[in-house]
Structure 1
Amino acid sequence: MKLKELKSNKSFIWKTLAITTIAIMFIPMMYSLFYLKAFWDPYGSLKQVPVAIVNQDKSYSKDGKSYTLGKDLVKKLKDDPSMKWEFVNYNKAKEGVTGTDYYAMIVIPKDFSEKIANSSTGDFKKPKLEYIANKGRNFIFSQLSSKAAESMQNQISTKIAKQTSEVLVDKLYDVKNSIKDASTAQNKIQDGTQKLVNGSGDLSNGLNTAYTGSQALKTGLDTAATGSNTLGNGLLQLSNGNTTITNGLGSALKGSSDLQNGLNQLSNGQAQIVKGSGDLLAGLTAFKTQLSKGTDMNELKKATSTIAQSSNNIINNSKATVTNATTANSEIDSAIAALNKGDSATALSELQKAKNSTTTIVALNAPSQASTDNITSITTIDTAVSAVSGQVQSTLAQTQKTMGSAIDKFIDGANKINQGSTQVYNGLNSAATGANSLSSGLSKLYDGSNKIQTGLNSAYTGSQNLTTGLNTAASKTGELSSGLGTLNDGSKTLNSGLGTLNDGAIQLKNGLNDGYNTINNNLKFTSTGMANFVSNPISLSDKSINKVSSYGEGLAPYFISLSLWLGAMFINLIISVVSMLNLTKNKFLNSFVGKLIVGIGLVTIQSIMLTLSLQLVLGMTSVNNAYFYLNNVFTSIVFFSIMYGLSTAFGVMATPISFVLLILQLSSCAGTFPIETAPVFYRVVNKVIPMTYTVKVIRMVLSGINYSDLSHNLLVLLSFIVIFLLGGFGIKTLRSSIKNGIANENAENAA
């Protein structure tokens, strides 16, 4: 009854449908416009979102440099408008995140600067930025703020990398210089090791020679020790013999002194003899004179007295015959006394004795040729005295006659005595002089002998010490020889080791030189340049194609497709209601094609309104404006054709089917995230739903067209139109045929 009333009130229904249709026409535009506007540029609007920053960092000094990284970070954030940074203490920040004041908080720890400063010297203790977000309040923003914290971390890491790189490069230059110095030093070391190798070879040869020489030296020292011992024994014997010589020289020195004294006395006596012989010669001459004159007894006595006096002088001065001379003197005195008494016999006897004594004197004191002549003279005198004595015994007169010739002989003998005495005297003087030289020489010889004795004693003592020293030297030389043998073996080992060392030194030298050349050839950058490179090693050249200017533009293909789907679904619903209520009697409008055309017209208007609003309100641009409008119109037609085919086939049931399709498309069309991130089911569905292809086409129209891909997607969408329209019409025809068949069957049954 009510339905009949509604049908009767067609005017009211048309008005209601008209208003509804007009409202539906705005649904795609409003849905896309409002939604995209709200999220058109959310990253550019984060400066209004409060995030708490808590700086607990304390400044830290190291190597004369002050580190205040927490303070520097706060200063940088104050100039960063990307978010609403609020710098508060920890308690307030914690309370605000737990409540509603802050979406997140970032805490800079108190040892932040200290750990970063120490990292340059190898103390790798990472400082931690503490990030706390209230994800339950807004998960999406928590993700964004987390990215901000990560960005902060990256900035600090970049700064640390820059500082560390500067230190590292500076150290590399230090290493380079050190390698250069080491290379130079190693060159000198290698030169030294080469010299050591050469020297060790010479040392080995020298030690081998020294070892051989030490053995020969030991043999020589043993021989020398034996010889030194023999020398000591010889020196001892020589010292003993020299002692005997010295003692003999002492005695000879004393005898030479006595000889000298005796010769001096003999010389003096000989001088008296010379004088006495002169006097004797004079007396004899006078005696002869008196005798030739007939000298009387008194003259004879006088002459005899003179002869006696002369003999006495000769006797007194003959040192070697003191005793005989004394006797002769006594006998002559007796002869003189007898002559004084006139006792010529006694006088002759005493003279004979005196003659004997005188003969003895001459024999003892003058063994020379001069003494022989004196003896001859004395003999002559004796003969004369004997003759005188004989004549005296006969007659004094005859004596006087015969004594003349005898006296002549006596005078000749006396003359010879005088000459001989003079020669003896001269000889004694020479002997005395020689005895003096002999005494002086013997004295020097004695002194020299004493010195020789002292030297021999010292030499003997020294020879004993030498023998001991040579024995010790021989023993030590044996030890030296053994040590030199060991040392020689060691020098060979040393030479081998030094050779190995030299080879290693050469390799090290070459390695250092190669290392220096390598690092010198490759270390062509400064610490600042390397720090800048390490902190930002990649220069990103953004040559992206099909650029999208904003977050909203990136989501636009998804929301445009969604909006047009909803718009087409509501338009199809209105047409279905009109058809179901049979509000028009126009056959064309009630036909399949008529309703299709009406629906296409309405969704076309929707798509144009949507596209225009996006351009005017959001400033959305496309690579081709005509393509943008045409594609949106085509998309609306595709979506309406699908829904119209469904409604044609299934009637009212098409609406829930459309909603199911909408839900599947929202999760499977890859409008937000790449389809590769979705589970397998959604990836399978993605290939058979129309919104997958409309999203792709709209993206190309907005950012960049791949015409091959565009053609493919458009053909797929066109196939959706054909399939759903033909399918819907075919199903409706089949349903009508079945329905008519059932109706006819019922009519026949009723008849």
Structure 2
Amino acid sequence: MWNPYGELQNLPVAVVNHDKNVNYQGTKLKVGQDLTKSLSQSTAMDFHILDSSIAANKGLSDGKYYMVITIPKNFSKNATTLLDKKPQKMVLNYETSAGHNFTASKMTAQAAQKAAQSVSEQVTKTYSKTMFNSIKQVSKGMHTAATGSQKLATGGTKVESSNQQITNGLNTLSKSSLTFASGTKTLNQGLNQYIAGVNQVSSGSQTLSNGLNQLNNKSNSLANGVSKLNNGGLALTSGLQNYTTGVASVNSAAGTLNSGATALGNGTSQLSDSANTLNSGLSQLHTASQDLTTNLQKVSSGLNTNSSQLDDSIANMKKQLTDNSSTQAQTIKTDLTNLQQAISDQNETTTSKISQVADQQGLTATQKSAILTAVNSSNSDGLTKAANTLSSDINDLMATQATAATQLNTLQATIGSSQNDLSTVIAQLATGSSQLTTQLGTVAGGMSQLNSGITDINANTSKLAQGTNQLSSGTNQLANNGSALTSGANSLSSGISQMNSQMPSLTSGVNQLATGATSLNGGINQLVSKGSQLTSGASQLTNGATQIASGSQTLATGSAQLGTGVNQITSGNQTLTNQLAQGAKKSNIKATNLTYDQIAQPATTKHTERDDAPNNGTGMAPYMLSVSLFVGALAFNLMFDIYTPRKFPRTGIAWWASKATTTGVFALGESLAVFILLSLIDGLAPVQSFPTFVVLLLTSCMFMSIVCWLNLVLGKVGSFLSMILLVFQLGGSAGTYPIQLSNNFFNAIHPYLPMSYSVAALRQTLMIGDSAIPDIMIILSITLAFILLTIIFFIIRKSRFNEIDFTKESAEYSEV
């Protein structure tokens, strides 16, 4: 068992090749032949190349060969099915005979698997060569494709530019078509309006034709009327001359009116002065009346003394009433009457003269009424109204003055007729004076109103003067424009004469116009009859324009989408070009045998062994040494009497010591023997030599103490139990396979077996090189425990021996 794997070259194996060669991608595959040749040259085993499977099987059954490797006929063919839809594996058949030798069957199976792996690597190399040749072709093709793709990308750019132009044109067409569609709609609407207008024109032309016919019919009457108009023009010219003469008369009358208005203004000014004077007199009269009332009250106390003064006061008051009121009021009233009469006369004179002039000029009633209204719209109405109001106020004042004078006369008569009853009369007079004072206050208020009316008359008189000035100015303008009016009348008469001379031409033109109107009416009727066709065509044009607009818009949208697609194609082509170029560059691989080997076996292993176990014998040494030392202890106890002492033992320890020297020498001897023989014959090279020997010695002592104690205590049964213990340790010490690979029973007893610790300690010193002290301590503990048990046994047995039993003679015949 020292190095069986190193002698595999002597293990006979038969090889039978049935494979048929095939062609693959231009390469001849002869996998079976190559494998046979490789095995025949291999020194891994003793391979025998045979031609017949019968001979190989007979040799396997006879034990001549430990394995037969058969290469099937489709072995190479299956190597070419890698790219097929259902690739076939290359199956290498091998047959072993475990019955002749199980270990040999395992060894040869591993060799067959290595052969299959070698074939796989060889086939993979062939695949690799073919693949790299294909890759080179792919690289060339990719380079060519990259060049073509670059051209395609360039063309795509041009297509993109052209498509952009097309898109722009289509967008312009779409916008124009929309404008065109809008224009056709406008045209359609315009045509509808045009047709409506044509209908109106047709109706109007018919009316025009009728009117022209009527005009033609009435042209003669028009000529007669123009002749009459010419005569009337001559009469108008004569009337206008009379009109200018009348305007001159009106202008003269307006001057006279202006002079009268100026005189009226002066009269109203004098009237205002007289009214102021009258007002002043009334104020004095009111003051005198108050004084009279006061004096009358005083007269009551001295009538005789003041009677003359009273008469004087009454006389003065009466005089003032008569002088300052009656005279001035009568003067104002007369002036107002004259003013009203002058205004009325002036208005009648102006109206009469304007009417005469209008009649002379042959004006119509409407024209005459308008001129009279303009003249009468002056401020004469306002002046007349103001004069009437002032006259009414003056009449009231004169009535008041008359009442006051009557009362004064009554007072004076009363004073004269009733001197005796003067006190009573004075009292009545005082009452009347008081009433007179009140009426004088009323008269003074009326005078104030009169002054206000006179002021308004002055203002209206000024306005009347301004109006007469404007009237005079207007009549002057009429007079000045009379010559122009006469000239215009002459021109009108001349134009009417010319028109009268042109009337024959007008009549002829009207006839021609009537004929043309008839022709126009016929053409318009034709235009109306064709209007429906024009409208229908315009509607069709509008529908077509709408369809064109919609289609052009759709086309523009599609062109834009096409542009986007072309952009993507161009970008994709450029990316494809770059990727193809890169792929061509990367795929341009220069493969060598190293490349093929890398593909065939891309992964390998690198084994690093931390322990020094060069062969199978070194690995098995800890187990076999432990077994040999235990067998040595069994053999020694079969040959040597470990119980009977040769002389009387003085003590139990002495008895043990006498036996221990013999067992110790044997343990030392067998330890030296196995260590030296393994080192010299098999070449055992422990990592730790001296610790190895120490472990061997301690293990030998442990096994010797255990076997000796079993034999001492149990005799032959102890020897049998020692054999049973050896069998348990052969399976439970994990000397061959790891204890984890054993069953539960051996896993349970493994920690309690002494050989488990001897095997572990020897592995440390022979191969691992770590410390074996923990295992050595357990071995020492077990050894000391059984030595102590042995000593106890001898102490107990010592009490049964007598010294007489160990005499020389008895010892010679002793059977124990």
TM-score relative to the length of structure 1: 0.53
Which residue matches 1:674?
738
Change (3 A) 1:189 1:565: farther
Which residue matches 1:162?
125
Which residue matches 1:198?
164
Matched, 1:150 2:150: no
Which residue matches 2:27?
65
Indicate the SS of the match to 1:119: coil
Alignment counterpart, residue 86 of structure 1, candidates 45, 48, 64: 48
Task: For 1:152, give the aligned amino acid.
Answer: A
Which residue matches 2:784?
722
Deviation (angstroms), 1:704: 3.7
Task: For 2:112, give the aligned amino acid.
Answer: A
Q: Determine the C-alpha separation between the residues in 2 that align with 1:561 and 1:107.
A: 44
Matched, 1:49 2:111: no
Task: For 1:646, give the aligned amino acid.
Answer: L
Alignment counterpart, residue 119 of structure 1, candidates 75, 82, 98: 82
**After superposition, where does 1:255-654 map in structure 2 within 5 Å?**
482=547, 485-486=550-551, 488-500=553-565, 502-503=567-568, 506=571, 509-510=574-575, 513=578, 526=591, 528-538=593-603, 540-575=605-640, 577=641, 579=643, 591-654=655-718
| Contact 1:170 1:527 survives alignment (8 Å) | no
Deviation (angstroms), 1:47: 2.6
For residues 648-692 of structure 1, the C-alpha deviation after alignment (integer angstroms, 9 at most, x for no partner) is 443433212211211111111111112222223322322221212
Alignment counterpart, residue 693 of structure 1, candidates 752, 757, 765: 757
Indicate the SS of the match to 2:79: helix
Indicate the SS of the match to 1:672: coil
List alignment gaps of at least 5 residues for structure 1: 1-38, 223-470, 741-751
Deviation (angstroms), 1:518: 8.9
List alignment gaps of at least 5 residues for structure 2: 189-535, 803-816
Change (3 A) 1:568 1:190: farther
Indicate the SS of the match to 1:718: helix
| Contact 1:645 1:724 survives alignment (8 Å) | yes
Q: Determine the C-alpha separation between the residues in 2 that align with 1:107 and 1:609.
A: 49
Which residue matches 1:105?
68
| Contact 1:555 1:671 survives alignment (8 Å) | yes
Q: Determine the C-alpha separation between the residues in 1 that align with 2:686 and 2:616.
A: 15
Q: Determine the C-alpha separation between the residues in 1 that align with 2:185 and 2:104.
A: 106
For residues 294-315 of structure 1, the C-alpha deviation after alignment (integer angstroms, 9 at most, x for no partner) is xxxxxxxxxxxxxxxxxxxxxx
Deviation (angstroms), 1:693: 2.0
How many residues in Structure 1 have an aligned counterpart in Structure 2?
452
Deviation (angstroms), 1:212: 5.4
For residues 126-149 of structure 1, the C-alpha deviation after alignment (integer angstroms, 9 at most, x for no partner) is 110111111222111111111011
Q: Determine the C-alpha separation between the residues in 1 that align with 2:743 and 2:118.
A: 36
Deviation (angstroms), 1:192: 5.1
Indicate the SS of the match to 2:81: helix
Indicate the SS of the match to 1:623: coil
Deviation (angstroms), 1:706: 0.5
Change (3 A) 1:168 1:696: farther
Alignment counterpart, residue 102 of structure 2, candidates 139, 150, 157: 139
Q: Determine the C-alpha separation between the residues in 1 that align with 2:24 and 2:106.
A: 37
Deviation (angstroms), 1:739: 13
For residues 43-101 of structure 1, the C-alpha deviation after alignment (integer angstroms, 9 at most, x for no partner) is 22223322211100001012221001110011111111222212221222223323433
For residues 466-498 of structure 1, the C-alpha deviation after alignment (integer angstroms, 9 at most, x for no partner) is xxxxx99x9999879846743540441342254
Q: Determine the C-alpha separation between the residues in 2 that align with 1:482 and 1:103.
A: 94
Task: For 2:786, give the aligned amino acid.
Answer: F
Which residue matches 1:346?
none
| Contact 1:644 1:725 survives alignment (8 Å) | no
Q: Determine the C-alpha separation between the residues in 2 that align with 1:587 and 1:515.
A: 105
| Residue range with higher mean Cα deviation, 173-182 or 203-212 | 173-182
Indicate the SS of the match to 2:752: coil
**After superposition, where does 1:3-42 map in structure 2 within 5 Å?**
39-42=1-4
Indicate the SS of the match to 1:53: strand
TM-score relative to the length of structure 2: 0.49
Change (3 A) 1:539 1:101: closer
Change (3 A) 1:143 1:652: same
Deviation (angstroms), 1:571: 1.4
Q: Determine the C-alpha separation between the residues in 2 that align with 1:645 and 1:630.
A: 22
Indicate the SS of the match to 2:80: helix
Indicate the SS of the match to 1:117: coil
Indicate the SS of the match to 2:602: coil
Deviation (angstroms), 1:175: 5.6
Change (3 A) 1:206 1:549: same
For residues 334-378 of structure 1, the C-alpha deviation after alignment (integer angstroms, 9 at most, x for no partner) is xxxxxxxxxxxxxxxxxxxxxxxxxxxxxxxxxxxxxxxxxxxxx
Change (3 A) 1:596 1:184: farther
| Contact 2:177 2:552 survives alignment (8 Å) | no
Indicate the SS of the match to 1:596: helix
Q: Determine the C-alpha separation between the residues in 2 that align with 1:85 and 1:93.
A: 12
| Residue range with higher mean Cα deviation, 592-601 or 210-219 | 210-219
Deviation (angstroms), 1:102: 2.2
Q: Determine the C-alpha separation between the residues in 1 that align with 2:45 and 2:81.
A: 31
RMSD between aligned alpha carbons?
4.2
Change (3 A) 1:64 1:524: closer
| Contact 1:546 1:700 survives alignment (8 Å) | no
Change (3 A) 1:641 1:172: farther
| Contact 1:693 1:716 survives alignment (8 Å) | yes
Indicate the SS of the match to 1:135: coil
Q: Determine the C-alpha separation between the residues in 2 that align with 1:734 and 1:172.
A: 93
Which residue matches 1:312?
none
Identity over aligned pairs, percent: 22
Q: Determine the C-alpha separation between the residues in 2 that align with 1:551 and 1:45.
A: 12
| Contact 1:53 1:86 survives alignment (8 Å) | yes
Deviation (angstroms), 1:117: 2.8
Indicate the SS of the match to 1:86: strand
Matched, 1:75 2:37: yes
Change (3 A) 1:667 1:503: same
| Contact 2:642 2:712 survives alignment (8 Å) | no
Q: Determine the C-alpha separation between the residues in 2 that align with 1:93 and 1:666.
A: 39
Q: Determine the C-alpha separation between the residues in 2 that align with 1:191 and 1:676.
A: 74
Task: For 2:639, give the aligned amino acid.
Answer: I
For residues 154-183 of structure 1, the C-alpha deviation after alignment (integer angstroms, 9 at most, x for no partner) is 111222333334444555566666666457
Indicate the SS of the match to 1:118: coil
Task: For 2:724, give the aligned amino acid.
Answer: V
